[in-house]
Amino acid sequence: MADAAIKLGTEPKTTFFDKVKGLLPEEGHLNLCLTCGACSSGCPATGLEDMDPRKFLRMAALGLDEEVTKSPWVWMCTQCRRCVYACPMSIDIPQMVFQARKTWPKDKKPQGIMGSCEQALRTEGNSAMGASSEDFKFVVEDVLEEVREADPRFKDMQVPINKKGAEFVLNQNSREPVTEPDEMVPLWKILHLAGADWTYSTAGWAAENYCMFGAEEEGWEQIVRHKVKAVEDLEAKAWLNTE
């Protein structure tokens, strides 16, 4: 008598955990967790919202999709990847967090992050602060003049803008020219003393990209492509992003 096929329930559904594994190279090593807790020991978000990287991973592995994807903790992760470096199995927990953020409707995501993303998409310089390229250029030139007058050692210092053929294009966090302009100066001095051949670009000058943090991939890509084009248009050899 032929053996009868035995069917145990319905086909298992694809979980959030399975979906993320399918997106990552080598499945992000997500199945290799030793539950050692090394990921949580140095995480700046450990304990917030009663969550940590180890717990987040284990809950996802157990198929607790709702609890994992809807936890506010995913917005407290800084994406610093310290957990990956600490993990003996190099498990990519930040990618899981990013994928969880993607499941949130845009109007439910943190408005500070989303507002900064939208500001960057609206400005030529991609400034999350909404600063125009004209204002950026004005502040840079104004601060440079002050430095030259205040310190004779830097009376010949240059801060090029839109210099074609420079060795590299430098991006600048847009908070500094808006609220802390003097914070730009130390790097200028280092570049000057090193004899570096560099320039800012008025297009895509801002270094930050909040669309990335908001898991808005289309906006993230749009901003990066705009910055890359700015570097290519200036015929620079390299792009140095301070973020």
For residues 37 and 34, what is the distance between their CA atoms, to the nearest angstrom?
8
Query: For residue 58, what are the CA distances in angstroms to 92, 183, 222?
Result: 13, 42, 34
**Radius of gyration for the chain, computed over Cα atoms and rounded to the nearest angstrom:** 23
Q: In what order do the strands lie in the sheet with 198-199?
A: 198-199, 168-170, 238-240
Kindly state the tokens that stand for 97: 């967090």
The predicted-structure confidence for 203-229, as pLDDT tens digits, reads as follows: 999 999 999 999 999 999 999 999 999
Nearest to 170 by CA among 135, 197, 143: 197
pLDDT for residue 8? 46
Q: Is 239 left (phi over 0), alpha (psi -120 to 50) or beta?
A: beta
Q: Is the pLDDT of residue 1 over 50?
A: no
pLDDT for residue 243? 80
Q: What is the DSSP string of 153-203?
A: GGTT----BS-TT-SEEE-B-THHHHH-GGGGHHHHHHHHHHT--EEB-ST
The predicted-structure confidence for 159-174, as pLDDT tens digits, reads as follows: 999 999 999 999 999 9
Nearest to 171 by CA among 133, 141, 142, 145: 133
The predicted-structure confidence for 174-193, as pLDDT tens digits, reads as follows: 999 999 999 999 999 999 99
The predicted-structure confidence for 70-115, as pLDDT tens digits, reads as follows: 999 999 999 999 999 999 999 999 999 999 999 999 999 999 999 9
Kindly state the tokens that stand for 39: 């990921």
The predicted-structure confidence for 6-34, as pLDDT tens digits, reads as follows: 454 455 556 899 999 998 889 889 999 99
Stated pTM of the model: 0.83
Mean pLDDT over each residue of the chain, to the nearest integer: 92
First vs last C-alpha separation in the chain: 69
